[in-house]
């Protein structure tokens, strides 16, 4: 016990964790809390914008725990419908529903003696949240279509890119489940708050993608690095990773230069309307002026028409931004917008938005 205490409180508790790039002060606290909580059986709630590396922290918690030799099972709760997710988590018996031709073991059973990582926990329905609460409190559940109770020893690590306190206020998330999940919260800072880590991240991705593509891009132009450190990174580490991979593939020399980066990273052009899952912001005055500039007269007789067009433009912009934040997944987008998928499909058609292939 004394050894555990000394390792937790020692001077190295804030040092980087293997497999995670970054040594900034913003990440030091993440490492410290990760090491401390890993030694326990407590549930952990990892918070952070899309692309910040929540899965890496969840994996580190598992590896550093006494469960490290057991399974680490990942479930993206936002990628499946409610019925499919329930079956995925808890399993089902033959005949439980159309298509259930065999018994199936769920992810909670598969994670027995190990850790289950529930990503995008905010996407779960209230019905499913009741069942998750039971597993957390009593360590038991039934497969879909079965009455036999199954007991598991599984640690739960959950993640959300949304503020669950706001989800509770909007009655989209159960408060009792929140308190069971949020025993120890870990908040991962966005990349714009850890700019000191950008050089080491770029170097890591350069080496990785050079090896993957049999290239030799090992140098970074000073102006390119300055541009990357000045950029806002709404897509966080995932966006940086994407641009470095593209640069490696497109490079003619062994150097990453500004010409290999998107114009909006270097400041040469405006960024297109792509956002991460951070809070959506719109400039209503700018949208109104844009509508007016398209030839709509602002006389009193046209006031209602102008209002409806502005509302339509705001709704269209909202759908485009939420689609981007949901990686173009329509089911998830409809859920976040509070509409069904058929309604979303109609709005995509009405607003002339190119429909994603899913």
Would you state the pLDDT for residue 356?
Answer: 65
> Within 13 Å, how many C-alpha atoms sit on residue 355's CB side?
14
What pLDDT shows up at residue 245? 96
pLDDT at 315: 81
User: What pLDDT does residue 9 have?
Assistant: 46
What are the CB-based long-range contacts (under 8 Å, 24+) for 203-206?
A: 204/21, 205/240, 205/241, 205/244, 205/245, 205/248, 206/244, 206/248, 206/256
**38/251 Cα distance (integer angstroms):** 41
Give Cβ neighbours of residue 140 (< 8 Å, ≥ 6 apart): 134, 149, 150, 151, 152
- Is 296 a member of any domain? yes
Confidence bin at 249 (pLDDT 50/70/90): very high
Q: What is the CATH number of the domain that holds 219?
A: 1.10.8.60
151 with 61, same domain: the answer is: yes
Is residue 305 included in any domain, yes or no? Answer: yes
171 and 225: one domain?
Answer: no
Tell me, what's the pLDDT at 81? 82
Domain boundary (170, 189, 208) is at: 189
Q: Is the per-residue pLDDT at 311 higher than 80?
A: no
260 contacts 252 by C-beta, under 8 angstroms? no
Stretch 240-252: mean pLDDT = 95
If asked whether residues 12 and 116 sit together in one domain, one would say: yes
Stated as kind and residue range, the H or E segment containing 337 is: helix 330-337
Q: Is residue 222 part of a domain?
A: yes
* pLDDT value for 357: 56
Q: Evaluate whether residue 277 is within a structural domain.
A: no
The answer to whether residue 22 sits within a structural domain is yes
**Could you give the C-alpha distances from 305 to 311, 316, 318, in angstroms and in order?**
10, 16, 20
Most confident option among 2-6, 126-130, 281-285: 126-130
> What value does the mean pLDDT of the chain take?
84
Same domain, 114 and 203: no
Section 35-54 average pLDDT: 95
Distance between alpha carbon 152 and the CA centroid of its chain, in Å? 27
pLDDT at 294: 57
Number of other CB atoms surrounding residue 311 within 10 Å: 12
The 8-class DSSP code of residue 17 comes to P
pLDDT at 141: 87
Task: Tell me the CATH number at 345.
Answer: 1.10.10
Domain that holds residue 332: 284-350
Show Cβ contacts of residue 295 under 8 Å, excluding neighbours closer than 6 positions. Answer: none
SS percent in the chain: helix, strand, coil, step 5: 50, 10, 40
Does any domain span residue 136? yes
Query: Residue 2 pLDDT > 80, yes or no?
Result: no
Whether pLDDT at 275 is above 70: no
Residue 52 lies in a domain: yes
- 248 with 300, same domain? no
Tokens 């408060």 appear where? 175
Distance CA 190, CA 161 (A): 11
Cα separation, 358 vs 35, in Å, equals 39
Last residue of a domain, one of 135, 161, 189: 189
Tell me, what's the pLDDT at 351?
A: 83
What whole-number distance in Å separates Cα of residue 57 and Cα of residue 277? 19
Choice among 124-128, 172-176, 271-275 with the minimum mean pLDDT: 271-275
Q: Is the pLDDT of residue 112 over 60?
A: yes
Give tens-digit pLDDT for 182-240. 999 999 999 999 999 999 999 999 999 999 999 999 999 999 999 999 998 989 999 99
Q: Looking at the structure, do residues 220 and 151 belong to the same domain, yes or no?
A: no
Would you place residue 139 in the very low, low, confident or very high pLDDT band (cuts 50, 70, 90)? very high
> Same domain, yes or no, for 139 and 46?
yes
Residues 28 and 102 in one domain: yes
Q: Evaluate whether residue 271 is within a structural domain.
A: no
As for how many domains the chain has, the answer is: 3
Among candidate residues 238, 266, 294, the one where a domain is terminated: 266
153 vs 80, residue with greater confidence:
153
Handedness of CA 14, 15, 16, 17 (dihedral sign): negative
- Domain identity same for 32 and 162: yes
Same domain, 125 and 24: yes
More confident residue, 297 or 81: 81
User: Which pLDDT score, from 0 to 100, does residue 278 have?
Assistant: 46
Query: At 298, is the pLDDT very low, low, confident or very high (cuts 50, 70, 90)?
Result: very low
pLDDT grade for 328, boundaries at 50, 70 and 90: confident
* Same structural domain, 233 and 293: no
243 and 160, same structural domain? Answer: no
Nearest to 312 by CA among 282, 336, 281, 291: 291
Which parts of 100-221 fold into alpha helices (H)? 107-110, 126-138, 164-169, 175-181, 198-212
Q: Under a CB-based contact definition with an 8 Å cutoff, are residues 317 and 273 in contact?
A: yes
């Amino acid at each position: 016990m004394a050894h555990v205490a000394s390792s937790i409180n020692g001077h190295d508790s804030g040092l980087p964790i293997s497999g995670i790039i970054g040594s900034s002060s913003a990440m030091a606290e993440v490492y410290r809390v990760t090491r401390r909580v890993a030694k326990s059986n407590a549930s952990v709630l990892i918070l952070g914008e899309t692309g910040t590396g929540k899965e890496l922290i969840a994996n580190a918690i598992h590896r550093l725990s006494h469960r490290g030799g057991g399974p680490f099972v990942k479930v993206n709760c936002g990628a499946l419908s409610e019925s499919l997710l329930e079956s995925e988590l808890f399993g089902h018996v033959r005949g439980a529903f159309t298509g259930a031709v065999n018994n199936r073991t769920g992810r909670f059973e598969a994670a027995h003696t190990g850790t289950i990582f529930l990503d995008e926990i905010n996407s779960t329905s209230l019905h499913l949240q009741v069942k998750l609460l039971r597993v957390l409190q009593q360590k038991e559940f039934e497969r879909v279509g079965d009455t036999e109770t199954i007991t598991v020893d599984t640690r739960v690590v959950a993640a959300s890119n949304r503020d669950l306190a706001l989800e509770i206020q909007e009655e989209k998330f159960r408060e009792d489940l929140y308190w069971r999940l949020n025993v120890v919260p870990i908040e991962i800072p966005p990349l714009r708050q850890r700019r000191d880590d950008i050089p080491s991240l770029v170097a890591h991705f350069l080496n990785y993608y050079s090896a993957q593509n049999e290239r030799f891009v090992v140098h970074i132009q000073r102006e390119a690095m300055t541009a990357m450190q000045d950029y806002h990174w709404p897509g966080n580490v995932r966006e940086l990773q994407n641009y470095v991979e593209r640069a490696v593939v497109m490079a003619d020399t062994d150097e990453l230069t500004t010409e290999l980066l998107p114009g909006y990273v270097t400041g040469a052009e405006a960024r297109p309307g792509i956002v991460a899952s951070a809070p959506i912001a719109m400039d209503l005055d700018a949208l109104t002026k844009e509508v007016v500039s398209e030839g709509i007269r602002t006389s009193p007789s046209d006031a209602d028409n102008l209002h409806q067009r502005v509302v339509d433009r705001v709704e269209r912009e909202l759908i485009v931004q939420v689609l981007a934040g949901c990686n173009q997944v329509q089911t998830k987008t409809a859920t976040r917008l509070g509409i069904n998928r058929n309604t979303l499909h109609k709005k995509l058609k009405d607003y002339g938005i190119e429909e994603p292939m899913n």
